[in-house]
Structure 1
Amino acid sequence: MKKFIISAAAVFTLLAFTTVSNWNADNAHSKLTFTVTHLGIADVSGLFKNFDAKLNTTKDDFSDAQFELSADVASINTEVEARDNHLKSPDFFDAAKYPKLTFKSTAVKPVGKNQYKLTGDLTMHGITKPVTLDLLYRGTVENPMSKKPTSGFQVTGIVKRSDFGIGEKFPATMLSDEVRIKADGEFTKQ
């Protein structure tokens, strides 16, 4: 009985020091963008206006963070309504059939001061593929308005639209296969 009590006390002590903290994206101060090259000569950028992102961690440096993101495909915005409607169509994202794109991290690996490789599963157009992205931790401050800890992150990387069956009718000479993605996020501790 004495061994059981000591073991239970050790487990509870360990759990007390590994408390998970939950953080949610502040969408007013966060952005999910993409850029493609048109005809090999001009960049065209857009964003997803409606998305949710959260992270969970037990470490102050976020080295064990688990990120999750979900974006509404129909919220795509390139500032050209006709192009946005085309991107929502079956030619590209097929937003009616595949209304969400998601990312769920599987690993965060430190590569330098405040720099990480973020690996996870990206799902778009009904296809899930592993991707590795660059993650920059920009610091944590107390938000003067909410009085809550707020952390900043930037995620950058390249994905191929062909890996997800997006825009298959359009050759890379017309629209680059490589899509540069960038997410800037402020996360508030809950």
Structure 2
Amino acid sequence: MKKILILLAAAFSYTAASAQTTWSVDKAHSNVKFTVTHLMVSDVDGIFKNYDATITAAKPDFSDAKFQISIQTASVSTDNDQRDKHITSPDFFDVATYPTLTFTSTAITKTSDKHYKLTGNLTLHGVTKPASFDLWYRGTIQNPMSKADDAGFQLTGTIKRSDFNFGSKFGNAMVSDEVTIKANGEFGKAK
């Protein structure tokens, strides 16, 4: 009987330790931004207003985390109506044909305390390619309003437009091939 209880306790401990927790993005305290260089002399910033993101992880340091991000391309804003109309057109995002941009992580590797390399598949403009980003886990804290746990992250990195056949009519002299990505995310633990 004692052996059975020990086996049951071990099985319960393993199940509890490997249980996945889901975290959902708090859009009021998060953002997804990008920067390109115009005419090789001036940076132009943009933001996506409509997106969703979730994290699943079993470990409290998120070293086994899986990220899923989906962005509605029509929600792009560069704070200029004429430019926004152009970048949602077939010249760039072609939002009628490609309404979403997605990232699904495939691996996470710890590089130092609270810093990771996050790798996954990025789908933009109908093209899926591997992409890697730097991820800073900023910590977890109990939200004094909701009494639930909130975790903070910052994701940074660079992608190339040419890898995704994005804005191919416009060369590097007009709009930089490199696009800098920066996302700040606050995620609430599912109850």
Q: What's the TM-score bracket when you normalise by the shorter of the two chains? A: over 0.9
Q: How does 1:1-190 map to 2 (within 5 A)?
A: 10-190=10-190
Output one character per residue of 1:39-84: Cα deviation in whole Å (capped at 9) or x when no partner: 0000000010000000000000000000000000000000001111
Q: Separation in 2 of the partners of 1:14 and 1:48? A: 40
Q: Separation in 2 of the partners of 1:10 and 1:136? A: 33
| CA shift for structure 1 position 28 | 0.5
Higher alpha-carbon deviation: 50-59 or 139-148:
139-148
Sequence identity percentage: 54
Amino acid across the alignment from 1:29? H
Q: Separation in 2 of the partners of 1:137 and 1:5? A: 38
Output one character per residue of 1:118-142: Cα deviation in whole Å (capped at 9) or x when no partner: 0000001010000010000001111
Q: Separation in 2 of the partners of 1:8 and 1:122? A: 42
Q: 1:153 to 1:82 in 2, by over 3 A?
A: same
Q: Separation in 2 of the partners of 1:167 and 1:161? A: 7
Output one character per residue of 1:117-168: Cα deviation in whole Å (capped at 9) or x when no partner: 0000000101000001000000111111111100100000000011111100
| CA shift for structure 1 position 13 | 3.8
Amino acid across the alignment from 1:115? H
1:84 aligned counterpart, secondary structure: helix
Higher alpha-carbon deviation: 4-13 or 168-177:
4-13
Q: Separation in 2 of the partners of 1:37 and 1:129? A: 22
1:89 aligned counterpart, secondary structure: coil
4+ aligned runs moved over 6 Å, structure 1: 3-9
TM-score, scaled relative to structure 1: 0.95
| CA shift for structure 1 position 33 | 0.3
Amino acid across the alignment from 2:80? V
1:156 aligned counterpart, secondary structure: strand
2:15 aligned counterpart, secondary structure: helix
Q: Separation in 1 of the partners of 2:143 and 2:9? A: 37
| CA shift for structure 1 position 10 | 4.7
